[in-house]
Amino acid sequence: MSDSSPQQERIGFIGLGNMGHGMARNIVEKGYPLTVLARRKRDVVEDLKGRGAAEAATPAEVASRSTIVFLCVTGSKEIEEIVRGPNGLKDGLARGSVVVDCSTADPVSTVALAALLAEGGIDYVDAPLGRTPKEAWEGTLDTMVGASDAVFARIKPVLETWAGRVVHIGATGDGHRMKLLNNFLSLGYAALYSEALALSRKVGISPERFDGVIRGGRMDCGFYQTFMRWTLEGDRNAHKFSIANALKDLKYLEAMADDAGIANPMGNAAKNQFATAHATGSPEDYVPMLADHVAKANGVEV
């Protein structure tokens, strides 16, 4: 593979959503040449161009201008199309390039794409994310990385432009496996909090009184605090991760458990909570709003 130094790297970025915008902004503002993929919503592209980024019309064009390409999209279906599809990354990547997939994806797809690109001398890395768009903008995200030691050393300086905590988990595929485990915990918490809040309301304990016991105690954590900001303050943007994406991730977890031959009843229970909210409410509601869906399903005043 290429022995490009960090100073020589040219970065491509595909997926300028809630997380990607902040990540791309940190990359270009910290000195790396950046090319982003065009999108219909022009405000983010124009913002990044104003900071020094260039724009490309297709993934293949992004790839041709870059030594490292970051992906930050919804999931494996979109990634497969970006890599394998017409005018995809595979058509534009040079030998020695690296693709860094920051999405939450199916590890089976990740490993298959890595094998495909390895035939052309291209490395494929999974580096999914932890934390929220706020930390993406501030450059303090967490990331869990699946890569060889050599490729990890090469990409780490770029990761550190937008991540405050970079953990090398293992080989390609292990980052996405760990991310699914991480999201199993966080989304499991969300399902538990939602049911507990519904029950507390049903028995006459207000969310404020509930929070007065949990906050600052052993059951408190950072996820709990951002989750509760919707219920207590009506802060819609406290945790901008949709119910649709949560359901997608729990389906990936289920598939990973099935492939490993392990029973996953808690994961299935959490998945079913989100599946019900997805089917009966708005898939684009954010995860903390699951509490309202569970309450409504139980006849509780929201």
pTM equals: 0.90
Task: Verify that 193 and 141 share a domain, yes or no.
Answer: no
Pairing outcome for strands 98-101 and 68-71: parallel
Helical pair 290-297 and 174-202, crossing angle rounded to 10 deg: 40
In this structure, are 145 and 181 located in the same domain? no
Pairing of strands 98-101, 141-146: unpaired
pLDDT tens for the chain, 302 residues long, are: 444 444 589 999 999 999 999 999 999 999 999 999 998 889 999 999 999 999 999 999 999 999 999 999 999 999 999 999 999 999 999 999 999 999 999 999 999 999 999 999 999 999 999 998 999 999 999 999 999 999 999 999 999 999 999 999 999 999 999 999 999 999 999 999 999 999 999 999 999 999 999 999 999 999 999 999 999 999 999 888 999 999 999 999 999 999 999 999 999 999 999 999 999 988 999 999 999 999 999 999 86
Domain CATH number, residue 155: 3.40.50.720
CA 87 to chain centre: 24
Looking at the fold, whether 24 and 111 belong to one and the same domain comes out as yes
Give the end of a domain, one of 171, 200, 215.
171
| CA proximity to 104, closest of 170, 193, 19 | 19
Q: Which residues form the domain of 266?
A: 177-297
Say yes or no: 261 and 227 in one domain: yes
Alpha helical stretches, state H, 36-173: 42-50, 59-64, 76-84, 89-92, 107-118, 133-138, 149-159
Q: Are residues 195 and 255 in the same domain?
A: yes
Q: Are residues 79 and 101 in the same domain?
A: yes
How many structural domains comprise the chain?
Answer: 2
Q: Would 302 be classed as within a structural domain?
A: no
Together in a domain, 126 and 196: no
